[in-house]
Amino acid sequence: MSTVFRDRTAAMNPARILLTPHPMGRPLSAPFDIEKQKDVLRAGLALLDTANVGGTVVEYGEPYRTGASVTADSQELR
Instruction: Indicate yes or no: pTM above 0.85.
Output: no
d(CA 29, CA 43) in angstroms, rounded, equals 13
| Residue 10 · residue 57 · CB < 8 Å | yes
- For residue 59, the cross-strand partners are 19
How does pLDDT run across 55-76, given as a tens digit for each residue?
888 999 888 877 655 555 545 5
How does pLDDT run across 12-57, given as a tens digit for each residue?
888 888 999 888 888 889 988 999 999 999 999 999 999 988 888 8
